[in-house]
Amino acid sequence: MSEAKKIDGKLAAARVLEKVRHDVAELKAEGLAPCLAVVLVGDDPASHVYVRNKVQRAEEVGIRSIEHRLPADTEQVTLLALIERMNADPAINGILVQMPLPPQIDEASVIQAIRPDKDVDGFHKENVGGLVLGQNVLTPCTPTGCLYLLEQALGDLSGKHAVVIGRSNIVGKPMASLLLQAHCSVTLVHSRSKDAAALCRQADIVVAAVGRPRMVGADWIKPGAVVIDVGINRIEENGRARLVGDVDYDAVLPQVSAITPVPGGVGPMTIAFLMRNTVLATRLQNPLAA
Ligand code: NDP
């Protein structure tokens, strides 16, 4: 019973990647070879792992990848010049600069320097604005992956009340825009909200993106709600390190109709939608092909 409620992000991501593989093959048949450029500045070990995973996944689906590894003391002008060259290079379809960047580099300036139709993270102002206006733009990978999981679990989301906990630019805000576009009524809950639990208890859909281990307990959840847990929190428990979400999974499980686990829920979707965005970017840049 409880297994039946678990939304399997690995399986869903595999399905998305299968479709990407098919789309890449189609693009290649039209003479277009999608290419993703990934830029890593510095020696952050977690960033190295993320970049390696992205490059590996790209290869698996037939997307060519280019890696640029720059030293930690790279000046902002050097990084901006590299982005400028990649913006102008027709062989590069997607540009991803791995965050966080060293302190001498302003992340916002870097994001705005990427050509919007190559911005596979979907963070450029033009893409943020386009999402709010309901235009066909590149949207951030994690919330787009969450929307996919919700549509798989519920079908049509029209008329559902969705509560998004967290209002960051990379997850909470774009998630709210995507849910609004899917015709949900949307409530955003954040650190200044009064009685977050009471707001959350009204939700048919809960998306938690906070970064606080197991903050969302059973008393936050309406019976039958669908819960998407974006949180990734590293904690120490019973003498061992483990990953937990923002939702107290075991506590809410009896009440929900479906829920993503951590790990194995939202996590695999992010990288799958990065690949999908690279395909979309290739199409956006070549509107006359096909
Ligand atoms: P941020 O720290 O940027 O944002 C956290 C948000 O949570 C803020 O809007 C903050 O409100 C809100 N918040 C903090 N405390 C509370 C509280 N007590 N009640 C209600 N809201 C609160 O985090 P991110 O959005 O970047 O990430 C959120 C989580 O998702 C993290 O655990 C991160 O690791 C994970 N993540 C997972 C990804 C994946 O691929 N699965 C990808 C990206 C993130 P306020 O704005 O008022 O400060």
Q: What is the pLDDT of residues 175-223, one digit of tens each?
A: 999 999 999 999 999 999 999 999 999 999 999 999 999 999 999 999 9
Same domain, 100 and 162: no
- Give the residue whose CA is nearest to atom 22 of ligand 1: 191
To the query of whether residue 204 is one of the catalytic residues in this protein, the response is no
For the CA of 270, the closest atom of ligand 1 is 40
Residues ≥6 apart with Cβ < 8 Å to 127 = 116, 119, 137, 138, 139
Among 166, 22, 43, which residue's Cα sits nearest to residue 100? 43
Last residue in a domain, options 89, 120, 151? 120
**Beta carbon of 190 within 6 Å of any ligand 1 atom:** yes
* Residue 247 included in any domain: yes
pLDDT at 60 over 70: yes
* Residue 96 included in any domain: yes
pLDDT for 3 equals 84
pLDDT at 1 over 80: no
Question: How many angstroms does the Cα of residue 262 sit away from the middle of ligand 1?
Answer: 15
- Give the residue whose CA is nearest to atom 17 of ligand 1: 191
pLDDT at 88 over 80: yes
Same domain, 41 and 103: yes
Question: How many angstroms does the Cα of residue 172 sit away from the middle of ligand 1?
Answer: 7
Same domain, 189 and 84: no
Same domain, 42 and 150: no
For the CA of 145, the closest atom of ligand 1 is 40
**Beta carbon of 270 within 6 Å of any ligand 1 atom:** yes
Q: What percent of the chain has pLDDT over 90?
A: 97
**Beta carbon of 214 within 6 Å of any ligand 1 atom:** no
CATH number of the domain residue 163 falls in: 3.40.50.720
* Residue 231 included in any domain: yes
* Residue 61 included in any domain: yes
Q: What's the token pair of residue 194?
A: 């009064």
Would you tell me how many other CB atoms lie within 10 Å of the CB of residue 5?
18
For the stretch 92-134, pLDDT in tens is: 999 999 999 999 999 999 999 999 999 999 999 999 999 999 9
* Residue 289 included in any domain: no
Same domain, 257 and 147: yes
CATH number of the domain residue 108 falls in: 3.40.50.10860
Give the structural domain span for 65. 32-120
Number of domains in the chain: 2
Residues ≥6 apart with Cβ < 8 Å to 121 = 96, 111, 138, 140, 141, 274, 277
* Residue 128 included in any domain: no
Catalytic residue among 23, 117, 119, 121: 121
Same domain, 106 and 165: no
Same domain, 112 and 213: no
**Beta carbon of 187 within 6 Å of any ligand 1 atom:** no
pTM for this predicted structure: 0.97
